[in-house]
Structure 1
Amino acid sequence: MAKRVVVDPITRIEGHLRIEVEVENGRIKDAVSSAQMWRGLENIIIGRKADDAWMFAQRTCGVCTTVHAIASVRSVENALKLEIPYNAQMVRNLIIASHALQDHIVHFYHLSALDWVDIVSALKADPKKAAAIADSYQNWKLNGDSVFRAVQEKLKKFVASGQLGIFATGYWGHPAMILPPEVNLIAVTHYLQALDFQRKACQAIAILGGKNPHIQNLAVGGVSTAINPDNVATLNMERLEYIKTLLDDVRDFVQNCYLPDVIAIASFYKDWLAYGKTGEYYLAVPELPQDTKGETFDLPGGTVINNKVTPIKSFYDPYFINNVYENITHAWYDGDWTRHPWEEETVPKYTGLKPDGTVDENGKYSWSKAPRFKVNGEYVPMEVGPLSQVLAGYLQGHKLTRKWADYALNQLSSMAGTKVTIENLKSTPGRHLARAIRAAMMADLAMKQWEQLVDNIGRGDLEIFNPPSYPQGEIRGCGFHEAPRGVLSHWSVVHNGGIMKNYQEVVPSTWNAGPRDSKGQRGPYETALIGNPVVEPEKPLEVLRTVHSFDPCIACAVHMIDPEGKEIVKVKAL
């Protein structure tokens, strides 16, 4: 007999997400993903100056601030067909790469590793044996039996105090936790070390962006980061050298600790390479533009459908711009339609839960819309995220993707004792591995953007801004960005000389967390959960594993309602 399991809220994510699954004979038979908060920021931006939209848009989220700012300015620049000075592209690219590195490190160690790592088990570890194991699969300078012993002692005091804080409700001792005590100790040690290295990436963002989170240096047409090698108050060589030092340290951690850790943990959970697949539809967009027009990129994008790639080549590529749609059949918005973002509206209509307190999958049940990509006249769900970008790059023969993906797959094959291919990345642990592969690439590419910026400054080019000029008529733009969680796109309709007439955001977690559409097609979270094992329905650790592998981020609320749909409070944005 099927058992309904409700996990609400899913923790270790940004925002409020509810997952309900039907478990029968130890497997998930059906799943429902319900975003439990309304973002509503699109409505706040309408009527404001297009120049200012990015400052509001980055408040969409308290975690992904930079990415919304980038997508927002790109959407207006796209509408204006505005070229961006090379220096501005490189400064933006450095911020993008630094943010991605910080985000990927935090996601694995601090938001999802505890689905696989049993902290309490680390108390039983032999630190000397742990050091030998760590040295067998990685070359990390902060390993060693004395390091592991010190962390274990700290952990013993922590547990003995009885004040476990965020670790108090972990599923420690769960039968699905299978790592040896020594590997658990290694992971806990690197969990703590990761806090320092993600901070270094944040420092780089703050130097370039003025502050972090919520950078202050963007502008439609470029950046406001003044560049002058001879001025102490601007981005000069001293600051650039410090940024390089920070990013070198982060690269060392990512490539010599983070990626090997993911490979090692995946080798113990190789059976999970069979769980968590969403299908054969993947979407990524190109990133890190290398010219002023946004026509060449360091990271490729495209759709991957049944392992066939259709590239997305530029910021103006009609293949992407013309084929993104959203459906609201099962979303808490007024109406029942499938529309292109430029034609959408955001009118909330909350209908609540069923009398038994569960969601009604036959009605409206999520604040997330259901994004779809139009393929041969059909609207299909797409998985987005690092897995999609790695697949798109690998299948297009992108050298850096091939380099790090082949390294990771060969290492995992050796450690797991079985052949692991690119196809195995379409799984729960595969998403973690793809994210680590992308982080390794971003670490290399961050240094490339730095070198290109310094070389260009050395040639005497200090330009950072191309001022926009708005026509009186209506113009439309799409700004896309391959954010840490996947494809992010902002859609602007501008009129009256630079005023927002309409604004829509189609965000990565909307693509992945979205509900069913008018044809009953499930969103990626819902599909990925089906078939997963659940050993103890009362402790649904396996549900968390697959959902966390997508790195959910349910955008920050700016408008609140009570369960009956009545307004509680409005927040006035200045």
Structure 2
Amino acid sequence: MKRVVVDPITRIEGHLRVEVNVDEATGKVEDALSSGTAWRGIELVAKDRDPRDVWAFVQRICGVCTSTHALASLRSVEDALKIEIPKNANYIRNIMHSCLDAHDHIVHFYHLHALDWVSPVEALKADPAKTAALQETVLKTYNLSGLEPAETQSTTSAYPKEFPKGNATYYAAVQGKIKKIVESGQLGIFAAQWWDHPDYQLLPPEVHLMGVAHYLNILDKQRDIVTPHVVFGGKNPHPHYIVGGMPCSISMDDMNAPVNSARLAVVDESIALAKDLVNYFYLPDVLAIGQIYAKAGMVDGGGLSKKRVLAYGDYPDEPYSGIQNGDYFKKCLVRANGVVEDFGLGVDKAKFIPLEGEDLMNPDFLSEEVEHSWYEYPDGKKTIHPSEGVTKPNYTGPKTGTKEHWEFLDETKKYSWIKSPTFKGNACEVGPLAKYIIVYTKVKQGIISNPSWAEQMIVKQIDTVSSVLGVPAHVWMCSTVGRTACRCLDAQVAVNMSQYFFNKLVTNIKGGDTAVANTKNFDPNTWPKEAKGVGLVDAPRGGLGHWCDIKDGKTSNYQCIVPTTWNACPKTIANEHGAYESNMMDTKVKIADKPLEILKGIHSFDPCLACATHLYNKKGEKIISVNTDAMCK
């Protein structure tokens, strides 16, 4: 048995360490632990703030998924104060959310995850002419653009399609660039990988060349996907919002207005580009790679997804009156709110457990544990509901080594800066895979009797991919390949969401409605003395929840359970592993010292952990800066 440590996991947001015990004879991972190595502490920053400003602070939790935390925060405050936003604000927020979903998924695959599948070294063996021919075959075989429903067709777009460049001359030129990089020994963006790992031999060289070419192509295109953030929110990352709606006024007559006909045309063009990048680059690439892995029987890494997944649902079609009262869930186009257990046995054997508005404030449904986390709860409590959450650090250090220089962490005690959230005392996986499992189960079992266009599209996507891969849904979905594929499918739904809500926005403006904010309860004098709210978003990485307590016009307590808290958490009190740890224990490793399969599995979740921690004393003076990235000096 060999203990293997990967620290830090690169190509993620934040700092993550994993340790696995591998049986070198069989490649089986006998045990695994996941450790978030930085303390977030943003909840303490939010405490005693004006609730109208908190979204701007907590949005800085992440520099990648940016606006999802702002949206969750806004929804929590609006839920507490019973504020209903105008139609235009709802449409605009959904456009911003969906374009962020698409951008996050595309950037994740090409620039954080793709190099787990394709290699620049293998690309040097490719025939450029054969790669061009492969490109055409892939576009014909794996083009799922026909699944887009009538509700999401553009009524205004006249922009030319963005297709992959596919001739032999182009691929020869890309191969020449790669050759210079490899021969120089300065791999740059392609550095720090085990290019001699046998998994890279599974794909033909032409797939590697096509993948690396698209990596470079998307690097240039991706920035235009988030243009709606700039138009509606003023900037990206961290666009602007306002409690009660949006800060961008609308005028079709004033060319200096934040939102006018010219700027709407820019949003329209951005949405058209995003749809093309998903349909003609992202989807074909993922399915072409996935089919080869599926045929080789490499569909491991499902882990906790086979056993239990959770999602909240999202994209309210129209404004809603609240989340706790359940109206939010009635309005959502993707009604994924709930938990599905045992999907790995087949969709007919899966069990659905609903998660409704009032359940979100019930500790019998949702809670957080710190048994294996570097925190402590008062009065000897073992578990606390997030609305009553406490963020008090209790760092104990590793099992061997020192508190500053770890050798091995102690899996029997505390070993992570991440808490362990649970649903009815059990760990859950969240993310696009979880959302897809829940919607698929609810529709197939008739729990959703009248599916929305988005829910119908999700079911069609899954059934189509099952046919393409030649593998049943519960087999390919519950795997590292399936987790990566469902993220890609989610991007396709997201770009269609952008188009759908853009169409609704334009129609509403044409009808004479230009309201973007409801300021009726903006004045603190109109607020109750005490109020509690919850804000939900099915973010790119999964279910995101923010809980806020407001007392005497200030946030008396603020807690977040982010998707990576669910997935990267340490073991629960019941000794159940979280999603990362379960994934690693369900993954075979060919070479213990080069655990590419472990990186591939962890990257399939798109980890997003907090960055290096900075602590300040009461005078605002910096007392220490802790950096857990060995590459930073």
- Which shows bigger deviation, 135-144 or 77-86? 135-144
TM-score (normalizing by structure 1): 0.93
Counting aligned pairs with the same residue, the percent is 42
Q: Verify: 1:524 aligned to 2:524, yes or no.
A: no
Q: For residues 289-335 of structure 1, what are the alpha-carbon distances to aligned partners after superposition, in whole Å with 9 as ceiling and x for unaligned?
A: 1222134122221222232334556xxx1233422211011100123
Matches within 5 A, 1:386-405: 386-397=432-443, 398=451, 399-403=453-457
Residue 116 to residue 569, structure 1, CA distance change in 2 (3 Å): closer
219-228 vs 143-152, greater mean Cα deviation: 143-152
Moved more, 195-204 or 360-369: 195-204
**8 Å CA contact 1:273, 1:427 repeated in 2:** yes
Could you tell me which of 369, 380, 400 is aligned with 1:327?
369
Amino acid at match of 1:305: E
- 452-461 or 166-175: which moved more? 166-175
Return the alpha-carbon distance in structure 2 between the equivalents of residues 171 and 558 of structure 1: 30
Superposition pairs for residues 453-532 of structure 1, below 5 Å?
453-467=505-519, 468=521, 469-470=523-524, 471-496=527-552, 498-532=553-587
Q: Which residue of 1 aligns with 2:153?
A: none
Residue number among 389, 411, 431 corresponding to 1:344 in the alignment: 389
Pairing 1:104-253 to 2, within 5 Å after superposition? 104-138=105-139, 140-177=163-200, 178-216=202-240, 218-234=241-257, 235-253=259-277
C-alpha deviation, 1:141, in angstroms: 4.2
- CA distance in 2 between counterparts of 1:59 and 1:558 reads 13
The one-letter code of the counterpart of 2:176 is E
Counterpart residue type for residue 234 of structure 2: G
Separation (CA, whole Å) in 2 of partners of 1:552 and 1:402: 29
Q: Is the 8 A contact 1:21 1:30 kept in 2?
A: yes
The residue number in structure 2 matching 1:67 is 68
Equivalences for residues 301-320 of structure 1 within 5 A:
301-302=336-337, 303-306=339-342, 307-312=350-355, 317-320=357-360
Aligned-pair CA distance for 1:231: 1.3
Return the alpha-carbon distance in structure 1 between the equivalents of residues 593 and 74 of structure 2.
Answer: 46
TM-score by length of 2: 0.84
Deviations 1:168-204 (A, max 9, x none): 2211121122211100001001111112332111222
Aligned length: 555
SS at match of 2:558: strand
Give the whole-Å Cα distance in 1 for the aligned partners of 2:8 and 2:471: 37
Instruction: Provide, for residues 96-121 of structure 1, a one-character-per-residue CA deviation record: whole Å limited to 9, x for no partner.
Output: 01111110001111111111111111
Q: In 1, Cα distance between the equivalents of 2:194 and 2:223?
A: 28
Instruction: State the 1:485 CA deviation.
Output: 0.2
Q: Counterpart of 1:282? A: 309
**Aligned pair in 2 of structure 1 residues 479, 233: CA closer, same or farther (>3 Å)?**
same
Is residue 268 from structure 1 mapped to residue 292 from structure 2 by the alignment?
yes
**Distance (Å, rounded) in 1 between the aligned partners of 2:220 and 2:459:** 26
What letter matches 2:421 in structure 1? P
SS in 2 for 1:332: coil
SS of 1:503's equivalent in the other structure is strand
User: Comparing 71-80 with 265-274, which one deviates more in the overlay?
Assistant: 265-274
Gaps of 5+ in 1: none
Once the 2 structures are TM-superposed, how far is the Cα of residue 422 of structure 1 from its aligned partner?
4.2
Alignment partners' CA distance in 2, 1:285 and 1:143: 40
1:304 alignment partner AA: V
Q: State the AA in 2 paired with 1:458.
A: K
SS at match of 1:200: helix
For residue 593 of structure 2, what is the aligned residue in structure 1? 538
1:93 maps to what in 2? 94
CA contact (8 A) 1:405 1:437 kept: no
Distance 2:74 2:489 in 1: 28
| 8 Å contact kept, 1:329–1:364 | yes
Work out whether residues 200 and 247 of structure 1, in 8 Å CA contact, stay in contact via their aligned partners in 2.
Answer: no
- Asked if the contact 1:276–1:528 (Cα under 8 Å) also holds between the matched residues in 2, the reply is yes
Q: Secondary structure at the match of 1:384?
A: coil
Distance 1:147 1:413, change over 3 A: farther
CA deviation string 1:361-419 (max 9, x = no partner): 11110000001012xxxx111110000111122223344344355446545644x5x33
Q: Who is 1:549 aligned against?
A: 604
